[in-house]
Chain A
Amino acid sequence: MASKPRVTAPEQKTGNVVRDSSLALVPETLDPYLAVNALIWLGGPLNAAEIEIARLRNARTVNCVFCRNVRYDIAIEAGLDESKVAMIEDGFIDSALSDREKLILEFTDQYLGNPAAIGTDLQQRLLAEFTTAELVHLSMAISHFHGFSRCAVSLGGMPDDMPRMEVSLPD
């Protein structure tokens, strides 16, 4: 992984972690990106703790150090704690996570691994647990997090490790 940044972020700082990042080099997509990000977190039927479970599973697979180590405060407020985060690992099927949470992880893994191969068994269990809007919300959340965690990795500058950090949703 490239530890040296491959692009230079704008010098002018706003205090907004996204607007101050290299994404600001493409101002045309900045506001639309932030609008999608806000709707992913706040505009759907799944709560922030459920969204965070999918985000962290993706972060672990992509190995985005930053994504892995941040926690969204709204997810913590919605009930996600570190004991639950620790269960988002291999073997989660046998963990104390709820069936609903395990399904979120199974769906995330299917997206990340082999999306075309989703079987009818998983489809039926998802449809029994989630509404269509919830499944669309989850799908778009995973896709959003996957794309932008890979964006972060692709642009370099990722530390080898960093402490856990609580963050708020950027405006």
Chain B
Amino acid sequence: MEYCSFGVSGMSWLADAADRQQVLAAMPELAASYTQLYAQLWTLPQLPASSLELCRLRLAQLHNSAVEWQKSEAELAPGQRLALVDWPSSELFDSAERACLDFCEVYAMDTQAITDAQAEAVKQHHGDAGLVALVEALGLFDGMTRLSLLWQLPVLPVEGQ
């Protein structure tokens, strides 16, 4: 896959900042509250963090965001990251993950096109609360991906690479 990349060094056009936290530092109180909300997602009992991470990464792929793709927020099973682009035909994803990814893809393209069957598939694995948690998380992930692109955050070198 090819990703939008605005250079391996440099700053956002909007602020003297190289990453999300540095941009958000312009509004410290909001940054702290937002960070708390975002962090909460990864500890929710309603949905495994790994399923959320798969959806976050899939949104990064669909938006062609190198910055978001580069990040890692939760551990995945071996091979899943590389197989994500072909998840419908891969055997590395279980039915619960597939339900979330299927919902995520339609959410990304046209929220109004989500079908009752797609919502029901998520609920079968995670219940009503799981579906709510998923759409909340997708909103935050999609938002951060769009902002990374809009702010033209640079791709930073990854430690150890």
Contact = CB atoms under 8 A, between A and B. Distances in A.
Are A and B co-members of a single complex? yes
Interface of A: 1-2, 4, 6-8, 22-23, 25-26, 28-29, 32-33, 35-36, 39-40, 43-44, 62-63, 110-111, 115-116, 118, 120, 123, 126-127, 132-133, 135-137, 139-140, 143-144, 146-148, 150-151, 153-156
Given A36-B30, A132-B26, A151-B136, 18 more contacts: A6-B131, A7-B132, A25-B133, A28-B40, A35-B36, A39-B27, A43-B27, A111-B147, A116-B63, A127-B14, A136-B23, A136-B30, A140-B34, A146-B142, A146-B143, A148-B139, A154-B119, A155-B132
A62 B63 CA distance: 18
Given A115-B150, A143-B146, A7 B30 contact: no
Interface string B106-133: 0100011010100110010000110111
B29 to A, nearest CB: 6
Interface string B28-40: 0110011011001
Contacts of A43: 27, 29-30
A95 B112 CA distance: 30
Interface in B41-100: 41, 43-46, 63-65
B36 A23 contact: no
B62 to A, nearest CB: 12
A40 B27 CA distance: 10
20 contacts: A25-B46, A26-B136, A29-B136, A32-B36, A43-B30, A116-B64, A123-B14, A127-B13, A132-B26, A136-B23, A136-B26, A136-B30, A139-B151, A143-B143, A144-B143, A147-B143, A150-B135, A151-B138, A153-B111, A155-B135
A33 B29 CA distance: 14
A136 B26 CA distance: 7
A29 B30 contact: no
Main SS at interface, chain A = helix
Contact of B27 (A29, A44, A155): A44
Interface residues of B, number: 50
Given A29-B133, A35-B33, A144-B143, A7 B150 contact: no
A131 to B, nearest CB: 8
B139 A150 contact: yes
A134 B133 CA distance: 30
Contacts of B65: 116
A28 to B, nearest CB: 5
